[in-house]
A and B are shown apart, each in its own frame.
Chain A
Amino acid sequence: MDECGGLVEHLFRQEAGRLTSGLVRRLGPAQFELAEECVQDSLVRALKLWPHQGTPPNPAGWLATTAHRLALDRLRRRSTLQRIHADLAGLVRLAAEPATPADALDDQLAMMFGACHPALNREAQVALTLKVVCGFSTAEIARAFLAEETAIAQRIVRAKRCLRDDNVPIAVPPEAELPARLDAVLQVIYLLFNEGYSAHAGDDLVRHDLCEEALRLSRLLASRQDTGLPKAHALVALMFFHASRLPARQNGAGDLLRLADQDRSLWDRRLMFAGLRHLDQASEGAELTTFHLEAGIAAIHAQADSDEATNWAMVLGLYDQLMAIAPTPVIALNRAVAVMRVHGVATGMRQLEPLKPSLDGLYLYHSVRADFHTRLGQIACAEREYTAALSCPCSEPERRFLQCRLAALQR
Chain B
Amino acid sequence: MPQFMLILFEKPGDFASMSPDQIQKVIEKYGSWGARMAQENRMVGGHKLTEDGGRKLDRSGAKVAVTDGPYAEAKEVVGGIYILRAKDYAEATELAKTCPHIDYGRIEVREIDFMGQPEPA
Contact = CB atoms under 8 A, between A and B. Distances in A.
Interface in A131-147: 135-137, 139-140
Interface in B76-97: 79-80, 82
Given A13-B21, A43-B20, A51 B15 contact: no
A50 B33 CA distance: 12
B70 interface: no
Interface residues of B, number: 25
Contacts of A6: 28, 31
A54 interface: yes
Interface in B12-26: 15-16, 18-24, 26
Q: Which of B18, B24, B28, B34 has the most CB of A within 10 A?
A: B24
Contact of A5 (B18, B23, B34): B34
B112 interface: no
A47 interface: yes
Contacts of B46: 51-52
A40 interface: yes
Contacts of B34: 5, 51, 54
Given A3-B35, A4-B31, A5-B35, A51 B20 contact: no
A48 interface: yes
Contact of A12 (B15, B23, B32, B79): B23
B102 interface: no
Contacts of B16: 40, 44
A51 B27 CA distance: 7
A136 B23 CA distance: 12
Contacts of A3: 35
A35 to B, nearest CB: 14
Contact of A4 (B18, B26, B32): B32
A411 B47 CA distance: 67
29 contacts: A3-B35, A4-B31, A4-B32, A4-B35, A5-B30, A6-B31, A11-B24, A12-B23, A12-B27, A13-B19, A13-B21, A15-B20, A16-B20, A40-B16, A43-B20, A44-B16, A47-B15, A47-B23, A47-B26, A48-B15, A49-B48, A50-B30, A51-B31, A51-B46, A51-B100, A52-B48, A137-B22, A139-B19, A140-B19
Interface of B: 15-16, 18-24, 26-28, 30-32, 34-35, 46-48, 51, 79-80, 82, 100
Q: Which 5 A-B pairs rank lowest in CB-CB distance, beginning with the nearest?
A: A5-B31, A137-B19, A51-B30, A12-B24, A12-B20
Given A5-B31, A51-B46, A135-B20, 16 more contacts: A4-B28, A5-B28, A5-B32, A6-B31, A7-B27, A12-B21, A12-B23, A13-B19, A15-B20, A44-B16, A44-B23, A46-B23, A48-B15, A48-B79, A51-B48, A137-B21
Interface of A: 3-7, 10-13, 15-16, 40, 43-44, 46-55, 135-137, 139-140
